[in-house]
Amino acid sequence: MKPIFLLLTVLGLCLSCSSLPQVYPAGDSAEPQSGRTCGGPYPDGDWQLLHSIEATLPGGKKGFLMGLTIISPSNRTAQCVIMTLEGFVIFDALYDQKITVKRAVAPFDSEVFANGLIEDINLIFFKPSGSITTSGFLKSGAAVCRYQKPDGRLVDIISLGKHNWEIRQYLPDNRLARTVKRMYLADPKGIADKIELKAHGTPGYALIMDLVEAVPLTK
């Protein structure tokens, strides 16, 4: 049993060590498309979003929660409330350049959880801060725009076509840290119907967020 576990661990580490994908420059005719990719799939204006969340935790156990997120992309501020499906609030935090936790019930009461959650919200809903280092196409043909954040981490925004996007965030040593898939039916406002987030590495986790309600807060 132990050798299998070791093999799986090594395999997992190898996969998470995969190097940064190469970006092939766009030809003149393709430049506008790769340029559009840099705008990304981010919401316009302020929104109140309610999601049902399926969380897959280390060990494969699934947990279901409700997430209420109020986002203001222009100010890069967010309030995040996590509730049980019965409406019992287990986590409530405000992010305005720093995190203020208003309520946190075990096992959601650690600083690591709060920081990780706010980082995930940033990655999901806000355009990366920092500068564009390159744009073009991946080997698969998907348009990509690569940002470098002020802390040195790279973020790829990838247009998969048919209203589907993927965002990948890498660690400073170029290991893949997070993947976000955003799927749209046809919302022009940048509100995805389904968002899948995968945290790579150990311990990893995955979230599937299905949109229940989106209320615009700006007219």
Residues that bind another protein (CB under 8 A): 48, 50, 52, 54-55, 57, 61-66, 68, 70, 79, 81, 83-90, 92, 102-103, 105-106, 212-213, 215, 217
2-16: b (≥16 Cβ within 10 Å) or e: eeeeeeeeeeeeeee
Listed in sequence order, the residues at least 6 apart from 124 whose beta carbon sits closer than 8 Å to its beta carbon are 167, 180, 182, 195, 197
Min CB(183)–another protein separation in Å = 13
Amino acid at 41: P
Nearer to another protein, 36 or 189 (CB): 189
Min CB(78)–another protein separation in Å = 11
Distance CA 154, CA 145 (A): 10
Q: Comparing C-alpha atoms, which of 135, 159, 161 is closest to residue 146?
A: 135
Nearer to another protein, 47 or 147 (CB): 47
Residue 47 structure tokens? 């929104």
Nearer to another protein, 60 or 150 (CB): 60
Min CB(186)–another protein separation in Å = 20
Nearer to another protein, 90 or 171 (CB): 90
Q: Comparing C-alpha atoms, which of 72, 76, 55, 73 is closest to residue 64?
A: 55
Min CB(59)–another protein separation in Å = 9
- Is the separation of the CB atoms in 138 and 24 below 8 Å? yes
Nearer to another protein, 52 or 164 (CB): 52
- Is the separation of the CB atoms in 90 and 84 below 8 Å? yes
Min CB(50)–another protein separation in Å = 7
